[in-house]
Structure 1
Amino acid sequence: MTGAHKEDTARISYDVIVIGGGAGGLNAALVLARARRTVAVVDAGEPRNAPSAHMHSFLSRDGVSPLTVLETGRAEIARYGAIRIEGRVDQVQPRDEGGYVVLLDGGASLDARHVVLATGLRDDLPEIPGVRAMWGEDVHFCPYCHGYEVRDEKIVVLGVHPASAGQALLLRQWSHDVVYATHDRPLTDEERERMDARGVEVVDGRVSTLLSKDGRLHGVEFVDGRTVACAGVFLFPRMTPNDSAFDGLGCARDEQGWLVTDRAGRTSRPGLWAVGNVVDSRAQAVTAAGMGAAAAFALNHDLVDEEIERDLAAHRAAAGRVSDAGEPVSAV
């Protein structure tokens, strides 16, 4: 279902609404749809890994385009009756009668017994010319995702984050030729000693631009005019979770402001779940998919428990209106 059909979905009630159509959200929807739950996935169609031509470290999908993986997932959930709604969620609100209403940006609203947030995070990149243009191509964050593709080549790590020095030390695993550009994260004496011991070259100074030709990286230029030729640049972006849909619902957050969940993805508020990068910045696509499945298993069990309590109450109420002899009991 596309955004053109948003008005048709107004006030439709689902067992579960999944917000976000990446690996975590789609895998949650797949498991729940196979459990014969009514499921809708609201998807803005802007996955975090869209700039990357290939995804890696995902068993059976290594080297495949991230968009191909998502297209396959969309077809799979549709096969089991889940629907995908193109759009954005403005807010999730509690319903007086239980469950939640999910308000879409186009004005439509959907009712759900439970909601799974799988909206990922934003990579806030440093304002260095060339970084954004080559992000996902020759400029990367995760060594496990893209380190192998620049193995044994010269790699420059930009010092833009408190974790940048550790990133440079880690990348030495993939290449003998790693350069740490201090930029705005100069090293302590202990960190510099670790770089020396690990064989990482340190270049002090701020970076002015990334050099490219025909859209491909070939070097890093510093403000003093020095250049370092390289085949790849890695940096540690500032990450911000896309969790505003749950604002105002009272879900517990940690000291950094990230949503807190249990191992199954439950937030502190019953019926609200969160999986993938929206709660774990380290989660790769394969990890997010696993988190989505784990949440779906637990969520379905919670729904079953709710239904058993409802059915049991109805059964007892019906039994109370009939005498042991099978005659209706008169009201007192």
Structure 2
Amino acid sequence: MKQADCIIVGGGIAGIQAAIQLGRYKHDIIVIDSAQGRSSIAKAYHNILGWPDGVSGHQLRTLGRQHAEKFDVEFLEDTVTSIEKKRDKFFIHTKKGMEYQAKMIFLGTGITDNIPPIKNIYTTLGTSTYICPDCDGYEIMDKQTVVLGGGNAGAGMALTLLYWSKDIIYVNHLKSKIDEKYRKKLKANQIPVFEEEVEEVLVDAKQQLTAIQLVSGKIIEAEKAFTAFKGNKLNNGLALQLGVHVNENNHVVIHPRTKETNIKGVWAGGDLVAHSEQVTISMGDGTQAAIWIHKRLLGQPLPYD
């Protein structure tokens, strides 16, 4: 059974940043990643310091992994199926049948977006189709934009995007109920609503969105799109398995300063703990948790010990 000072579950932005910091402390670190995180499908982030022209999630993860490997951090592609705490040690089992032991655990298992399998939608994510208005609202500035969503969630997104563009169209792909208060606001802001499923995202030679085709055959021209579907899945199963506390939105509860959970030796960061879902915040979580993991490994007291 392979042992480590800390095993990081999830090789996304928070996990890799924690790995870099812990590697620089010369601890034995293993990152176990299923390669399914949301950052692996994002074609471009535009609001990160140092990347004025944007950077893809794949590039950021690749560079981050190379950075961490300079400090002998080990990366394994596998899926953790269970973690059990026995006294002061953690025992990890994976889908490939491997077993590991660690003194500390960092959970960076993140969130899985609910994006319907509409043709071509994944090829445009981060370049002309977006999910997060705080991240990418700027990208639709004064551009014709279509919101693909369902019910009130999509209506709310359409109204939010008015800050950046007044040329918004809402396609209620799920044909879910839209409350009257939202319908009134959509009408007052001259946002057309189509109650129809999307057949395909039409793209040009550079895989940029040019239009949306509905199942009826109707084509809605647009330069940009946003998705707004309820049902994003917080990957908090391992945390719950360990007895970690979650809040009313099922996000993992952590100490604001150290990022440790209520279970001693279990730390968390990134989208698993923060509804803001920002790459830069995930980086901060990873670094801050690593600093306090290091102190705990040295036997130093934490603020609440």
Q: TM-score interval w.r.t. the shorter chain?
A: 0.7 to 0.9
Selected match of 2:95 from 101, 105, 125: 105
Deviation at 1:89, TM superposition (A): 1.4
Q: Say whether residues 1:303 and 2:297 are aligned partners.
A: yes
Selected match of 2:5 from 9, 15, 40: 15
DSSP 3-state at the match of 1:170: helix
Deviation at 1:275, TM superposition (A): 0.9
* Partner residue, 1:142: 132
The answer for unaligned runs of 5 or more in structure 2 is none
Selected match of 1:206 from 196, 201, 205: 196
Q: 181-190 or 228-237: which moved more?
A: 181-190
Contact 1:168–1:179 (CA under 8 A) maintained in structure 2:
yes
Contact 1:40–1:84 (CA under 8 A) maintained in structure 2:
yes
Question: 2: CA distance between counterparts of 1:133 and 1:26?
Answer: 25
* Partner residue, 1:236: 228
Pair 1:110–1:169, CA change in 2 (3 A):
same
Selected match of 1:249 from 234, 242, 247: 242
* Partner residue, 1:25: 15
* Partner residue, 2:274: 280
Quote the RMSD (CA, aligned, Å): 2.6
Question: 2: CA distance between counterparts of 1:213 and 1:84?
Answer: 36
Pair 1:132–1:85, CA change in 2 (3 A):
closer
Deviation at 1:201, TM superposition (A): 1.3
Contact 2:151–2:177 (CA under 8 A) maintained in structure 1:
no
Q: 216-225 or 29-38: which moved more?
A: 216-225
Pair 1:224–1:12, CA change in 2 (3 A):
closer
* Partner residue, 2:209: 217
TM superposition score normalised by structure 2: 0.85
Identity of aligned residues (%): 26
Q: 207-216 or 227-236: which moved more?
A: 207-216
Deviations 1:214-265 (A, max 9, x none): 5543323445554421112211232112233334322222334333222232
Deviation at 1:176, TM superposition (A): 2.5
* Partner residue, 1:37: 27
Aligned length: 296
Question: 2: CA distance between counterparts of 1:59 and 1:236?
Answer: 26
Question: 1: CA distance between counterparts of 2:72 and 2:215?
Answer: 56
Selected match of 2:264 from 263, 266, 270: 270
Contact 2:121–2:201 (CA under 8 A) maintained in structure 1:
no
Deviations 1:117-157 (A, max 9, x none): 11211112235555456444433211233333332221011
Which structure: larger Rg?
1
Deviation at 1:200, TM superposition (A): 4.5
Pair 1:106–1:208, CA change in 2 (3 A):
closer
Code of the aligned partner of 1:262: H
Code of the aligned partner of 1:218: T
Deviation at 1:268, TM superposition (A): 1.8
The answer for unaligned runs of 5 or more in structure 1 is 1-10, 309-332
Moved beyond 6 Å, runs of 4+: none
Code of the aligned partner of 2:185: R
Question: 2: CA distance between counterparts of 1:91 and 1:287?
Answer: 27
Question: 2: CA distance between counterparts of 1:185 and 1:37?
Answer: 51
Deviation at 1:27, TM superposition (A): 1.0
TM superposition score normalised by structure 1: 0.79
Selected match of 1:174 from 164, 178, 187: 164
Code of the aligned partner of 2:244: C
Code of the aligned partner of 1:65: S
DSSP 3-state at the match of 1:112: strand
Deviations 1:297-317 (A, max 9, x none): 222223333699xxxxxxxxx
Q: 39-48 or 125-134: which moved more?
A: 125-134
Contact 1:205–1:223 (CA under 8 A) maintained in structure 2:
no
Question: 1: CA distance between counterparts of 2:2 and 2:94?
Answer: 13
* Partner residue, 2:78: 87
Q: Say whether residues 1:118 and 2:112 are aligned partners.
A: no
* Partner residue, 2:44: 54
DSSP 3-state at the match of 2:169: strand
Code of the aligned partner of 1:300: H
